[in-house]
């Protein structure tokens, strides 16, 4: 199975190749075309994501979640997205007694 070279990544794609490669490997898919068929997306979209010309959209992440039952948190980890889009943590509630 051919894995894609990560040298061409930039901050725009948040290493989407990491997520896509993990899907290919984990589910024994031969290539991106097979992944496109399963996710019901156009190959040109996958190519744009692979080459850093387009981000993985929220719709695509939801589709991956629905098809592969992969948690969003795991996708973010595989994309190493935390460094670019840190999660918003709830602010602790402080109560004062009078």
Report the alpha-carbon distance of residue 19 to residue 16 in Å, rounded. Answer: 5
pLDDT along the chain (98 residues), means of 10: 46 72 94 96 94 90 95 89 54 68
pLDDT of residue 86: 52
Residue the block writes with tokens 């889009």: 85
Nearest CA among 95, 77, 74, 94 for reference residue 85:
77
Whether the Cβ atoms of residue 25 and residue 10 lie closer than 8 Å to each other: no
Report the alpha-carbon distance of residue 52 to residue 8 in Å, rounded. Answer: 8
pLDDT of residue 96: 75
Domains in the chain and their CATH numbers?
Answer: 16-83 (1.10.260)
């Amino acid at each position: 199975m051919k894995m894609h070279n990560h040298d061409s990544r930039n901050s725009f794609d948040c290493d989407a190749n990491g997520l896509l490669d993990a899907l290919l490997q984990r589910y024994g898919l031969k290539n991106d075309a097979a992944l496109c068929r399963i996710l019901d997306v156009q190959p040109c979209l996958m190519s744009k994501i692979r080459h850093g010309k387009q981000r993985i959209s929220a719709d695509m992440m939801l589709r991956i979640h629905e098809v592969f039952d992969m948690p969003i948190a795991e996708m973010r980890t595989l994309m190493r997205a935390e460094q670019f889009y840190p999660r918003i943590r709830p602010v602790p509630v402080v109560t004062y007694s009078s």
